[in-house]
Amino acid sequence: MAKELIEFRNLETHFHTSSGIVRAVDDVSFTIREGETVGVVGESGCGKSVTAMSLMRLVEGPHGVIAGGEIRYEGKDLLKLSQREMGSIRGKEISIIFQEPMSSLNPVLSIGEQITEPLILHLLMDRKTAKKRAIELIKLVGIPRAEDIYYSYPHELSGGMRQRIMIAIALSCNPKLLIADEPTTALDVTIQAQILDLMRGIKEKFKTSIMLITHDLGVVAEMADYVVVMYAGKVIEEAPVIELFRNPRHPYTKGLLKAKPVINKTQERLYSIPGQVPNPIELGNNCHFHDRCGFCIDICRVKQPPFRSHEESNHKTACWLYEEERESV
């Protein structure tokens, strides 16, 4: 088994609002190993992106706070590092591809300036060497006329090209972990396939670990080695990708898979999970999915289920349906 690269241990990330505290990430624990792609899936607002932002230490401020837990990178807790120490890791050893490249790229800087910045900052390259490397990276991500693109600005590129530039920037310092936050959102299906092929090739070539954040189960099936399912700030199931698709345990995961469109069933009404995601300020000490679950039993309404593996497998679930304790409540 590959060595652990990132380990989330009981991570708690909160946001203070005028209405109360939002527990955006609530006691989250999982591991990313070297050379592994971990897909983090769930509905919008479930805590996927906040988990990634916590890893990058980008939620700290007057309203957002990492309230507890650890994020261990190669054995050291990132949450205990100074801003200077974290700055030397962010963008160099751990990089991120943000969801919307047009708002992530600086509109007043050329593409070349934005790619060379981390090369000069982290790798201490001179401008001539950094420019040469930037052009190589533009070619690496499959963009023609790399020399011309180097001098272009973000608004002059298509959405797919901007996303490729984001990947080039993220790869510039050969990071050990690449966080891809909805990397194919708002792209047409042809460009989506090209971006996924590019990421797959990068993983194989550089042995880069990938944290893939998405709500698209088709992307997860194609890209991930391991899957973490989140709901209302909590991890409710995790398993190797083939095991999860063949044998989903949690009712929420079953609902997600059932809701996926199937080509041969175009005449049937598309399934949707009943109900709404609960208000994050009003979450109690119960199963957060209980009021949407067709298998809800009494204990689900009053107590959170433990998160653990069953039958000595790598498949972990937080659901009272698999717990003996439910019989006594």
Provide the residue-wise pLDDT of the chain in tens; the chain has 329 residues.
679 999 999 999 999 998 899 999 999 999 999 999 999 999 888 999 999 999 999 997 778 999 999 999 998 999 999 999 999 999 999 999 887 777 789 999 999 999 999 999 999 999 999 999 999 999 988 899 999 999 999 999 988 899 889 999 998 998 999 999 988 876 788 888 888 888 898 898 889 999 999 988 889 999 999 999 999 999 999 999 999 999 999 999 999 998 887 776 655 777 889 988 899 898 989 999 999 999 999 999 999 999 988 766 789 999 999 876 444 44
**Residue 144 CB-density burial (10 A; 0-12 exposed, 13-18 middle, 19+ buried):** exposed
Q: What is the pLDDT of residue 267?
A: 57
Give the pair of three-digit tokens for residue 250.
Answer: 């949690």
Nearest CA among 185, 290, 183, 310 for reference residue 238: 310
Domain 4-83+211-328 of CATH type 3.40.50.300: yes
Asked if residue 7 lies in contact with residue 14, where contact means CB atoms within 8 angstroms, the answer is no
pTM strictly above 0.85: yes
Could you state, in order of their start, the residue ranges of all structural domains in the chain? 4-83+211-328
Q: Give the other-Cβ count within 10 Å of 205's Cβ.
A: 10
Q: What is the DSSP string of 228-295?
A: EEEETTEEEEEEEHHHHHHS--SHHHHHHHHTS--GGGTTSPPP--SS-PPPGGG--SS-TTGGG-TT
SS3 (DSSP) at 227: strand
Q: Which amino acid is located at 258 in the chain? A: K
Spatial distance between the Cα atoms of 2 and 303, rounded to a whole number of angstroms: 35
Q: What is the pLDDT of residue 329?
A: 45
Between the two ends of the chain, the Cα-to-Cα distance in Å is 39
Residue with tokens 């003996």: 324
Spatial distance between the Cα atoms of 173 and 240, rounded to a whole number of angstroms: 29
> What residues contact 5, with CB distance under 8 A and at least 6 apart?
32, 33, 34, 36, 73, 74, 176, 177, 209
Sign of CA dihedral 315, 303, 271, 44: negative
